[in-house]
A and B are shown apart, each in its own frame.
Chain A
């Protein structure tokens, strides 16, 4: 197995790191304190190709593989987790589902706008009372002459209110359970679509999260994405890539915290020596480095396997589970290394700590990942 990144990818990583460090790092703390949707940097990311990484070149995307996606998402997330989240959501379901299941008309209309960052994409699955148990959703798309009538409320929509493109899961057949769900494209601004106030969150403040309510929204026939009743099947196909993305994002946040802690432990002196000389700090840094490396390897391996056509449900879940929990532990430890300064808003450490936490929750909680993995273990044994 070759563990070296391809040369082109190393070059892309270097340039994206430079971009992220120069354009995003300087605004990250201000965006945390006084949140606003970072349109300006998103536009620049779009120009570079960072918002359409997996979308083919003929639709204006960068046409790269999942390995590149994971490596570059880590770079952006290390600069600012909120940018990483917006990037992963718009790169993810909206574009991969369009790419794999969209009609050519849908692809031509939406992919170029999304891939270049002219539009930002959102994914509407969860509801106030339906999270992990997504099949219990009650948002309804009822057939009416010429199309559908959409009614219901979606919760926790990343970029909600800011994005122009919404991939919405709704029940077309409420009696059919998971098989009664279909996917719809909704453009911002259609009549009867309302946005809630942005949620106040622990972290990732600039990745605006809002509820989206549809009050008898009329959707034309061509808003249906993929076959009716296949919404879950369609979404499941993109789930693994999404989880690899969250793993890479968690690695990025953890890396930023780890780098800062390393730097600080080398400079800060106590009792006549750099604090890294104290075993209590040095061993902690060693554990952080080891967990970070393990998390990154899980994420990159899942991506690498996916690029080679393997089914990576188990690998993606393991990467997401381990990387997100590792990110919480690493950022927690970084606060400790910094002592009082780690708790102070003068330094970004407490932000990393807050930003990392949600990686254990979105795109499938740690508990859901464990359910997936434990099922896969027995599936592999033919049970």
Chain B
């Protein structure tokens, strides 16, 4: 059996980001493996530890520095890694096309993708990947059990959860609750350096023709709109009611 874990690298949410002018300055920022993707690597490792013969391949599409995120996936216990290098900004639909070709080429039985990506929050990559591959898909998955050629999953649904049985191969998007990802052990970190990490250019992977183009970016500035109501209690209550009714129009 083979599992592909899609890995994204994102700025460390706990580190400080610098803003230069009207842009976030990523120079000097700390980048880490996307927390959502760690659940996928962990789930693959647990499947192997339950006795399943299994190869785990971590795959990333992005900047050269994504190597570090892949090394983390290797240090956690993935067997090898593939990095498709590009500095281009590619929308999730096109990312899915590029990654889908690699997944198909690998002949994977299961693909894990983070439920959403910590930087763009699009939640689109998993479903788009399933679409490209023509595979069934469970999003926001919190439980997974393999039953031979099928997988039984529980995932979030409106107002509750839903249990599904999917035939393999399938795409599973992962999230908090699925498991508790491990920290890599020191011996595994040492071993990770010697594991195969294959680099490809975007061209090697067939190139990308994004359907969307970034036109403009602006920082969201939160405006303080608080207002202090003056006067005695009765007077203040009257102005508050008037403001809520006439201006805010909430009553």
Where the two chains meet, the residues of A that have a C-beta atom closer than 8 Å to any C-beta of B are 7-8, 11-12, 15-16, 18-19, 21, 44, 47-50, 53, 57, 62-64, 68, 72
B190 cross-chain contacts in A, Cβ below 8 A? 8, 12, 62, 64
Q: Mark B176-214, 1 if CB is under 8 A from A, else 0.
A: 000000011111011011000000000000000000000
Given A18-B183, A19-B183, A48-B183, the answer on whether A12 and B193 have CB atoms closer than 8 Å is: no
Contact of B189 among A15, A21, A44 (CB under 8 A): A15
B residues in contact with A62, CB < 8 Å: 185-187, 190
Q: Once the chains bind, are B183 and A49 in contact (CB under 8 Å)? A: no
- Establish whether residues A49 and B187, one from each chain, have CB atoms under 8 Å apart when the complex forms: yes
Contact B192 A11 (CB under 8 A): yes
Identify the interface centre among A15, A50, A63: most chain B CB within 10 Å of its CB: A15
Residues of A within 8 A of B14 (CB): 21
User: Majority SS of interface residues in chain A?
Assistant: helix
Listed A/B pairs (22) with beta-carbon separation below 8 Å:
A7-B193, A8-B190, A8-B193, A11-B71, A11-B75, A11-B189, A11-B193, A12-B189, A15-B183, A15-B189, A16-B186, A19-B183, A21-B14, A47-B185, A48-B183, A48-B185, A48-B186, A49-B186, A53-B186, A62-B186, A63-B187, A72-B186
A15 near B193 (CB under 8 angstroms)? Answer: no
Alpha-carbon distance A64/B68, docked complex (angstroms): 21
Interface residues of B (CB under 8 A from A): 14, 68, 71-72, 75, 183-187, 189-190, 192-193
For residue A68, which residue of chain B has the nearest CB?
A: B186
Bound Cα distance from A57 to B188, whole angstroms? 12
Shortest CB distance A17–B (Å): 10
Nearest Cβ on chain A to B72's Cβ, whole angstroms: 8
A7 nearest in chain B by CB position: B193
Contacts of B192 in A (CB 8 A): 11
Distance between Cα atoms of A72 and B189 in the complex (Å): 13
Nearest residue, chain B, Cβ from A44: B183
In the bound complex, residues from chain A placing their C-beta under 8 Å from that of B189 are 8, 11-12, 15
**Smallest CB separation, A148 vs chain B (Å):** 37
Q: Which residues of B contact A53 (CB under 8 A)?
A: 186
- Most chain A CB neighbours (cut-off 10 Å) among B75, B187, B192: B187
Q: Which residues of A lie under 8 Å from residue B184 when comparing CB positions? A: 15, 48
A11, A15, A57: the one contacting B187 at CB < 8 Å is A57
Docked complex Cα distance between A49 and B186 (Å): 6
* B121 CB → nearest A CB, Å: 23
A62→B191 CA distance, assembly (Å): 11
Q: Could you tell me the distance between the alpha carbons of A53 and B71 in the complex, rounded to whole angstroms?
A: 21
